[in-house]
Chain A
Amino acid sequence: MPQVSLTVNGTQHTIEVENRTLLVEALRETLGLTGTHVGCDTSQCGACVVHLDGVSVKSCTMLAVQVDGARVTTIEGLAAADGTLHPMQEMFREHHALQCGFCTPGMVMSAVDLVQSHPEGLSEHQIRDGLEGNLCRCTGYHNIVKAIAAAWPLMHGKTQAAAE
């Protein structure tokens, strides 16, 4: 079986995987990082989004062997080591942007990348557009959009909410 070396949430791992093992399977089953979820089998739902070298990817759409040498951040690695939540996590909590919590890890990881990649600001339209790849069945998205808009100024060190 192929060996893959990767850094996950700052920790170096070398794991054996099948050729066909998906990144999400390696994370969940081999490394025991069950915060990343599998909600579909067609790369539609986005519950499995993680950051690969700082960019969001659907970890069900990558083979584990493709990430050899890469740096992966999962939802477990987003908060500070002392448990202090990332501003996006804080804003999701503040704005009740999660209910059952199943889509949440992927939603948060997508949202972080969305905000990071838009330093110029984010309109509500852009946020909704940017969430196209993440399904939520509980919230109706309303509060997720609010949370992301509220996280933008916190993440970019600005005081004004960009979405307004």
Chain B
Amino acid sequence: MPFEGIGASVRRKEDVRFLSGHGNYTDDINRPGQVHAFIKRADRPHAAINGIDTAAAAKAPGVVAVFTGADMAADNVGGLPCGWQIHNKDGSPMAEPPHPVLAIGKVRHVGDPVAVVIAETRQAAKDAAELITIDYTDLPSAATLKDAVAPNAPRVHDEVAGNVCYDWHIGDKAMVDAAFAKATKVVKLDLTNNRLIPNAMEPRAAIGEWDTSSGDYTLYTTSQNPHVIRLLMGAFVLHIPENKLRVVAPDVGGGFGSKIYHYAEEAIVTWASAKVRRPIKWTAERNESFMSDAHGRDHVSTAEMALDTDGNFLALRISTLANMGAYLSTFAPCIPTYLYATLLAGVYKTPLIYCEVKAVFTNTVPVDAYRGAGRPEATFLVERLVDVIAHDTGKDRIAVRRQNFIPADAFPYQTPVALQYDSGNYQATLDAALKAADYAGFEARRTAAKARGKLRGIGVSTYIEACGIAPSAVVGSLGARAGLYECANIRVHPTGSVTVFTGSHSHGQGHETTFAQLVSAQLGVPIEQVEVVHGDTGKIPFGMGTYGSRSLAVGGSAMVKAMDKVIAKGKKIAAHLMEASVDDIEFADGKFTVAGTDKSKALAEISLAAYVPHNYPIEELEPGLEETAFYDPKNFTFPAGCHVCEVEVDMDTGVPEVVSFVAVDDVGRVINPMIVEGQVQGGVAQGVGQALLENAVYDAQGQLLSGSFMDYTMPRADNVPNIKVATEVTLCTHNPLGVKGCGEVGAIGSPPAVIGAIVDALRDYGVRHINMPATPGKLWSIIQSGRPAMAAE
């Protein structure tokens, strides 16, 4: 397969429209006759609704309609569905309580939607919402994981005992326990993975429109996967068949997972647009994003490693509590199970692993995938544990890693937690990262920093993740209620330009460029003549969307398959035109050639013949040159790598600063290095944010305290260092491009490197682990209370 031209840092095709203010985001769209929705949300974490008085709101100026959960229930609107079913240890299915679109009977988290006001302007709707009176009886709430699992804890859902959604496990407990019984040394670590709020810069928005003529619905929405929204909302919530529902996700301003899910507001505007017979727009204010976008992470875990005398990892035992929030978001149950526990082998040959996960309901915003989704939690746990093993056993943390790495010649490698890694070379990424970071010269920098009143530390993380989600049959057997293939349609136009219709969705990833590079390379068409179309169920045959770094590995592979079909058909046309045998036709650089001759036809000549079939094998071949392919991956892909972080902590204030960051990632074949580098840098910034700055904070009752950019610490330009990125390549062995995915590596690999550096900086203060975020206050307290061995100097 010809892939010349791949590997070039082609400047992005999409940039000019974004740079000149001509992007087309959902809130930029205005439909004729459009009215506006404002959602009245719960201002308290847990309460019974005794009554909702909407009379005054309904009479307010400009108001078109006011609806509550009762109106939707009367119309037989279903609840928001969950796309993944996990089974308990005993084989019984997880608890799956209803998730009404608008609250019915109770509110369960601050931000829970209770009513919607539809009015001529956004301001009129918002003003009227103030006039809605909700008669609540406050209920005791379970605000944290610890509260929710306490004996006699308040129940988030009356029917869910102990607030346990599921109690799941993986691995052979008996064998793991036996290995622990025989171990020379056991190292134990308690750790939390802090709750994060995704905060894509574009707030969610949705416009519902019902066509009075056709009866068709259109939903414009800020989604990473419009076809999935069509499926979920159409089939489970509003009972609209696919042929009557079009979902458009135009330019989307970042997702990071938070725009995968089917949200209440999408169903509200779509349903209500038929009620009021006008298009309805809803756009979240940022405070609504904080209390209605699915949050991420929020694990509390205990990890133990059994070691032999030589320091070999014998067995890993983990117990995790995972917060689901008040309701199950679309993919929530699979995050702390199949995207987390299956990655607990890390890059190590630990022969035995057992993990149990209890997923718990709390009176908080639902928790689902956020950049990395489960894999950052696994990586943080494993990598922190490895550092602590080195600390507790007095060994070098690099040596501990090297000793226990899966060797480069051991692939394919079957882990004890279900996954089979296809390729990798962990020594190579480690070596390259240590060299790029001048790890060997670090102690001199530590000493120099000390003279400036700074505690300098260095941290290393050697991570792995699973991408390219995923073989449908495999995920189906694990509880997914969908297939996870991707679809591509390649349309070669009569004059030889190409339109690619992809089920992947670009919301910052640069697909319009990377995918055009793929097509340009394989079909030999100039990149300017390739148009990539995504995000519209009315144009694209089907799609599962973009998340889990799957677009190139799965979506790109579907394009390769579709182009293979185009070329195969083109060869038949070329054979006819050049009076040769199909077997003698070769295709390269955009030309069909009769082997061993100088006879050739350009792709454009073939496509013209296909659409103007005057001289054409019409008996055997249909006209046209357009092919569709679905690609269902054979396995996950396994990007891996090494991140090295250096920090300085101010001895007087405890303020940490990341002074250097090196990422060496193996993401398989690189199509556009510039885009890969940007993806890694962005991911690292989010990882630095998690490690040092970001934390979703609820008070004891469940009120969200970090509910705005004034309270939730987003990484700013002066919080993030320059991020040096390099790649090492081992090819994925099971997809046609050899690609693995690069969207999440930054956010997965970086947090343990940052925390490792912080702990290293404070090594004289008696700490072996610090939970995230490592805030100045936390570090200052450690510095103040610790009596370093060298303090007397």
Contacts and interface: CB of A to CB of B under 8 A. Distances in A.
A37 B28 CA distance: 9
B717 interface: yes
Contact of B678 (A83, A96, A101): A96
A101 B251 contact: yes
Contacts of B613: none
Interface string A95-123: 01011111111001000000000000000
Contacts of A100: 200-202, 251-254, 507-508
A140 B15 contact: no
Given A92-B15, A132-B717, A137 B200 contact: yes
Interface string A22-34: 0000001000011
Interface in B673-724: 674-675, 677-679, 681-686, 708-710, 714-718, 720, 722-723
Contacts of A99: 254, 508-510, 678-679, 682
Given A100-B254, A100-B508, A108-B19, A140 B684 contact: yes
B23 interface: yes
A63 to B, nearest CB: 13
B717 A144 contact: yes
B244 to A, nearest CB: 29
B528 interface: no
A154 B655 CA distance: 36
A101 B717 CA distance: 17
Q: Is the interface of A mostly helix, strand, loop or mixed?
A: loop
Interface in A118-157: 127-129, 131-132, 134-145
B12 interface: yes
A65 interface: no
Contacts of A138: 201, 254, 508, 678, 682
B21 interface: yes
Interface residues on A, range: 35 or more
Interface residues of B, number: 57
Interface in A68-86: 74-76, 78-79, 83, 85
A47 to B, nearest CB: 6
B708 A42 contact: yes
B152 interface: no
A102 B202 contact: yes
A53 interface: no
Interface in B11-48: 11-12, 14-23, 25, 27-28
B493 interface: no
B199 interface: yes
Given A134-B717, A137-B201, A33 B21 contact: yes
A35 B28 CA distance: 8
Contacts of B684: 140
Given A85-B19, A99-B682, A140-B723, A45 B717 contact: no
Nearest to B711: A42
B203 interface: yes
B25 A141 contact: no
Contacts of A20: 123
B286 interface: yes
Most buried by B among A40, A93, A128, A138: A138
B287 interface: yes
B285 A35 contact: no
B231 to A, nearest CB: 24
B718 A129 contact: yes
Nearest to B716: A132
A20 B675 CA distance: 42
A139 B678 contact: yes
B709 A42 contact: yes
A137 B254 contact: yes
A41 B12 CA distance: 31
B256 interface: yes
A18 B123 CA distance: 10
A101 B16 contact: no
A43 B717 CA distance: 16
B253 A40 contact: no
A38 B716 CA distance: 18
Most buried by A among B11, B200, B507, B709: B709
Given A44-B709, A100-B200, A140-B723, A135 B678 contact: no
A78 B15 CA distance: 15
Nearest to B507: A100
A2 B627 CA distance: 58
A68 B25 CA distance: 29
Given A128-B717, A132-B716, A132-B718, A35 B20 contact: yes
Contacts of A83: 20
A141 to B, nearest CB: 4
B21 A142 contact: no
A36 interface: yes
B11 A85 contact: no
B20 A39 contact: no
A59 interface: no
Contact of A34 (B12, B14, B28): B28
Contacts of B253: 37, 39, 100-103
Contacts of B18: 98, 101, 104
A114 B203 CA distance: 26
Given A102-B253, A105-B21, A137 B681 contact: no
Interface string B500-522: 00000001111000000000000
A45 B21 contact: no
Nearest to A109: B21
Interface string B58-70: 0000000000000
B717 A127 contact: yes
A41 B254 contact: no
Given A100-B252, A143-B678, A34 B286 contact: no
A104 B681 contact: no
A136 B251 CA distance: 16
A94 B11 CA distance: 7
B682 A140 contact: yes
A137 B675 CA distance: 15
A40 B22 contact: no
Contact of A96 (B12, B17, B254, B716): B12
B21 A76 contact: yes
Interface in B271-302: 283, 285-287
Contacts of A56: none
Contact of B286 (A40, A131, A140): A40
Given A101-B18, A139-B685, A45 B722 contact: no
B22 A76 contact: yes
A141 B510 contact: no
Nearest to B254: A100
B25 A37 contact: yes
A144 to B, nearest CB: 7
A74 B14 CA distance: 20
A83 B23 CA distance: 15
Contacts of B23: 35, 101-102
A40 B707 CA distance: 11
Contact of A143 (B25, B123, B283, B681): B681
B659 to A, nearest CB: 13
A103 B201 contact: yes
Contact of B19 (A41, A74, A104): A104
Given A37-B202, A44-B710, A139-B678, A93 B287 contact: no
A64 to B, nearest CB: 13
Given A42-B709, A101-B14, A140-B684, 6 more contacts: A79-B20, A96-B675, A105-B21, A129-B718, A137-B714, A140-B746
14 contacts: A37-B202, A41-B708, A44-B710, A85-B20, A89-B20, A99-B679, A101-B23, A132-B716, A137-B686, A140-B682, A140-B684, A141-B685, A142-B720, A144-B717
Q: Nearest 5 pairs between A and B by C-beta?
A: A35-B21, A102-B253, A101-B18, A140-B685, A100-B508
